[in-house]
Amino acid sequence: MTSPIPIEDFFEDIIAKSMRGRHVSESELAGRTGVSSDILQRLCRGEFCDEPALLKVATALELDPQALTMSASRVWRPREVELEGLEIFNTPYRDMRVNAFLVWDPESQVGAAFDTGTDSSILSKRAEDLGVSIEQIFITHTHNDHIADLDRLKSAVGAVPVFSNSAEPWPGTETFTEGAEFAIGKLSVKTFTTSGHSVGGTTYFVAGLERPIAVVGDAMFAGSMGGGIVSFADAWKNNREKILTLPDETVLCPGHGPMTSVGEEKRNNPFFAAEFR
């Protein structure tokens, strides 16, 4: 049995991303919360040493205190997802791991790959074993870990179109703008630009399986979100307005960490849970 994919971000990662995104230094955070420098440094290192202090930090950083405490306690992870027409492939990249996805229409066996990870041969071999024909490749964003094995995937599946957002085009791909729609057999695909982590980060919303799915790249993770490298404010807003407004049963397929769902993130993600309580 394959080991579960670990959670991508621990509570200290969430604190760090919020501090960077909201431009709050450690000394400023200490002043806002009254938490001692020693305790704050320990929390920022990932030591869950003082729950009242953590609650103050959460409030000061506009994080949901209950959800951040659950993250620090490591008592939550999303339910495992098993869905016909969807598989995840998790491959190593430097000191982390990255996801790619195979999505297919079980009736026609027409499929598409979303990103490549660092070893696309696992994905293409699985498609072959399933009798799935990969007829399109979709890129969520062009950071190297997500498209590292694009050339090998293209060689494996033949002359199929590769798509990227026009705000973040990649050489040799066909570009689209937000709202573009595609088909994977009888499945429908609608695109949303969920920028912030990258300029043209894209969420692909796929309907037609037993549950809808959204391939979100690094916009969101289970219990966290991608770093707002381009704009934390845009990343937060796009996640809130374009991803978390999808149906609760929507399976979220992130670029790192395990799959999750809209409903679970609305309840358990420290960046957003306060909005839905």
- The domains of the chain are located at 11-73, 86-276
Q: Which fold does the domain 11-73 belong to in CATH?
A: 434 Repressor (Amino-terminal Domain) (1.10.260)
Beta partners for residue 191, in sequence order: 204
- Cα–Cα separations (whole angstroms), residue 168 to 47, 161, 223, 227, 238: 38, 16, 26, 17, 16
CA dist 99 and 217 (Å) reads: 9
What per-residue confidence (pLDDT) applies to 3? 77
Indicate the DSSP class of residue 95: T
What are the pLDDT tens digits along the chain (277 aa)? 467 999 999 999 999 999 999 999 999 999 999 999 999 999 999 999 999 999 999 999 999 999 999 999 999 999 999 999 999 999 999 889 999 999 999 999 999 999 999 999 999 999 999 999 999 999 999 999 999 999 999 999 999 999 999 999 999 999 999 999 999 999 999 999 999 999 999 999 999 999 999 999 999 999 999 999 999 999 999 999 999 999 999 999 999 999 999 999 999 999 999 999 8
What per-residue confidence (pLDDT) applies to 162? 98
110: three-class secondary structure by DSSP: strand
| CATH number of the 86-276 domain | 3.60.15.10
CB 194 within 8 A of CB 228: no
